[in-house]
Structure 1
Amino acid sequence: MIPTALIAEDEPLLAAALQAELALAWPALQVGAVVGDGASAVREAVQRRPDVLFLDIRMPGLSGLEAAAELADAWPQGPGAPPFPATVFVTAYDQYALQAFEAQAVDYLLKPVMPERLARTVLRLQQVLAQRSPARASEPLEHALTQLRALLAPAAPAQPREPLRVIQASVGNTLRLVPVDEVLVFEAADKYVRVLTASEELLIRTPLKDLLPQLDDTVFWQIHRGSVVRASAIHTVTRNEAGQLHLSLRGRPEVQAVSRLYAHHFKAM
């Protein structure tokens, strides 16, 4: 089998340079597509099912990490499903990112990509692909999900602080104070976050990624990249024929989709 790869890099010159270096370091590798944004990376990867992914961390729209999470959610599962691609993140020097990658044993390349470093990465990728078997095709996806959950987890604040108790939301010219104890759902919506209680919906400007570290994670569970729900309000969780989970909450009519990345909350299913 000829190994295949997909490159996601928004700078054409860097993408071409990586492809040229790969041709030297791994002549057998066939680069099936080169895309310039995270959404295209997800779409092309689902269609082409490459063995290897090279994802730039900073891309328009979805970042490399977010694209990997979206792809993990969209990746086929069940009998006959292909193994999840071995993934390498490509990044400019970022001490925090590199420490996070190393802590989770995630392979990465620094820009500009150096031939010696790429050669080591290629060797690791070849070893990973050689060890895969159809009987254990689901293991790469489970491993990737564990790594991605850790990498996407909100950073802990420098100083420990009390969980958020009250939400301040503007309604016209009025400032509303909503006790967090009344909130059932926080949901990202463009530049805002929707705050849903049993009786109303409000909008706040605090990004969800900034809100997450202020929430008690034993009370609120993240179920999707853009959704957090009150665990005690979960009424039912159902699995459809495709294996996707959806839940309903006491006091809300909406059905909430559960990303595969956060399905570990419901392992009993």
Structure 2
Amino acid sequence: MHATALIAEDEPLLAASLQIELLRLWPQLNIIATVGDGAAAVRQCIALRPDLAFLDIKMPGMSGLDAAQAIVEDWPNTDGGPPLLVFVTAYNEYAVHAFERAALDYVLKPVQSGRLAQTCARLQATLSQRERSGSDNSAAVRRAALSRSTRELPDPLEPLVAQLRMVLGIADAHSIPTTEPLRMIQASAGNTITMVSIDDVLYFEAADKYVRVVTPQREHLIRMSLRELLPRLDPQRFWQIHRGTVVRIDAIASASRDETGKLTLELRGHTARLGVSRLYAERFKGM
């Protein structure tokens, strides 16, 4: 079976070893890109549309899990879904347990030929099934379906979204210690430290190495990543709605869906409109 693949691995020797072993087990596989970090993996996946993506979990900057989340969120609304994902990881009990529960594939470092052969067989079977499903949907049927409300259509990303949310949820639960939820934010600017009550925060937004703290009156910057901040927020009060945005639940005035199915939030006391990614859209279903 002919297929294309991307490898994201920050250790060149391990990347080369994985590529050699893959081509030995699957001669028709075309490795169209090898990258060394998660951000490059996202860019190249969106640009090249590979059938498969092998993502190392621990990479500098954006991790493999974060990259997978970004690929799913940013994948264009076109025929077909994102690449089949395989996570490459050193042995970690919680990660392996999460992948097994979510039915996402993984291989352990150092990569074992027998285990990788099983992964290749699963990938080939899934690609064959995807091709058969795609051939059953003619372009005419697709166009007719798209003329209806997007909410009536099955989302081809929905199974992957559900699986990825399970992995992310289990990983976070096992990797981050439980702490007392934040009550105050200390935002520094020059020689001044401003104390911001958590009750005043409308939403948090990732901004490179900082997080924007947005209140009705003004914005602040704190030197902390959103991933570091998330476990310190009360999940009953704050929801993640995008990989770069967390909103206070009771600050949400409404959630509206456009003709493409994209959700946008309007806030009380602020003009900002916040987009909701596919991963978190299920939070906003009418009761």
TM-score bracket relative to the smaller structure: 0.7 to 0.9
Q: 1:169 to 1:35 in 2, by over 3 A?
A: closer
Report whether the alignment pairs 1:144 with 2:160.
yes
d(CA) in 2 for partners of 1:207, 1:243 = 29
The residue correspondences of 1:93-242 to structure 2 (distance < 5 A) are 93-132=91-130, 133-134=133-134, 141-153=157-169, 154-155=172-173, 158=177, 162-242=180-260
Please give the secondary structure, in 2, of the residue aligned with 1:199: coil
The residue correspondences of 1:44-123 to structure 2 (distance < 5 A) are 44-77=44-77, 81-123=79-121
8 Å contact from structure 2 (residues 71, 82) kept in 1: no
Q: 1:84 to 1:24 in 2, by over 3 A?
A: same
d(CA) in 2 for partners of 1:43, 1:214 = 30
8 Å contact from structure 2 (residues 256, 264) kept in 1: yes
State which drifts further: 201-210 or 46-55.
201-210
State which drifts further: 182-191 or 110-119.
182-191
State which drifts further: 223-232 or 213-222.
213-222
Please give the secondary structure, in 2, of the residue aligned with 1:221: strand
Q: Displacement of 1:168 after TM fit? A: 2.9
The residue correspondences of 1:30-41 to structure 2 (distance < 5 A) are 30-41=30-41
Percent of aligned positions with the same letter in both sequences? 56
RMSD: 2.6
Please give the secondary structure, in 2, of the residue aligned with 1:82: coil
Normalising by structure 2, we get a TM-score of: 0.81
d(CA) in 2 for partners of 1:98, 1:219 = 30
d(CA) in 2 for partners of 1:214, 1:106 = 28
Q: Structure 2: which 5+ residue stretches go unaligned?
A: 138-152
d(CA) in 2 for partners of 1:172, 1:42 = 35
Normalising by structure 1, we get a TM-score of: 0.85
Q: Displacement of 1:176 after TM fit? A: 3.4
Aligned residues: 265
